[in-house]
């Protein structure tokens, strides 16, 4: 079964494009996108250090471009996945009345990783640590979608 999955972070240049790239490489039969809650980087490619870190794992992010999360995304996707609690709060502010699309934390799908959010590598500079967590959670997400 094909699912429509949207990954969301703040800038849409580090964590959510990385999650999108890892997920589409692993599960290309799904429809995948990513977005940012801010408008800060609209049209930008993923942040260069994240592209480099992903590339070294065989994940190409170069075709991705940042866009802002919009209320219509609640109708366009089956599952919306945020990277931290603040992302989730901003997403929920835009939920249309009566819409029941699930919004989850990416780390919900990696319970054994012991993290309650994906720390922002734009600030921590730990791009590999973010990718480790994203890869573990995407594996769990893939298993979840397979039922
Ligand atoms: P992201 O990281 O939310 O994982 O894309 C960030 C990228 C840029 C900024 C903040 C977070 N910024 O302040 O420009």
Q: Which domains does the chain have, with CATH numbers?
A: 4-146 (3.40.50.2300)
Distance in angstroms (rounded) separating the CA atoms of residues 94 and 100? 12
Mean per-residue pLDDT, 53-67: 98
CA-atom Rg of the chain in angstroms: 14
- pLDDT digits 0-9 by tens, 21-49: 999 999 999 999 999 999 999 999 999 99
**Which pLDDT value is given to residue 8?**
99
Nearest-atom number in ligand 1 for the CA of 9 is 3
- The Å distance, Cα 34 to ligand 1 centre, comes to 13
Structure tokens at 1: 């079964």
Q: Which of 39, 95, 120, 126 is catalytic?
A: 120
Residues with CB under 6 A from ligand 1: 9-15, 40, 120, 122
- Residue 14 a catalytic site member: no
């Amino acid at each position: 079964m094909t699912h429509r999955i949207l990954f969301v972070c703040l800038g849409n240049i580090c964590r959510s494009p990385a999650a999108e790239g890892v997920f589409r490489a692993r599960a290309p039969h799904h429809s995948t996108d990513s977005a940012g809650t801010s408008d800060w980087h609209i049209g930008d490619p993923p942040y260069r250090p994240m592209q480099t870190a992903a590339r070294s794992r065989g994940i190409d992010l170069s075709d991705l471009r940042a866009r802002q999360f919009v209320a219509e995304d609640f109708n366009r996707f089956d599952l919306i996945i945020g990277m931290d609690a603040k992302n989730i709060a901003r997403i929920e502010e835009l939920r249309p009345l009566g819409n029941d699309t699930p919004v989850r934390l990416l780390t919900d799908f990696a319970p054994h990783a012991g993290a309650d959010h994906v720390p922002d590598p734009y600030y921590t500079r730990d791009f590999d640590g973010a990718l480790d967590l994203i890869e573990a959670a995407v594996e769990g997400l893939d298993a979840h979608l397979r039922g």
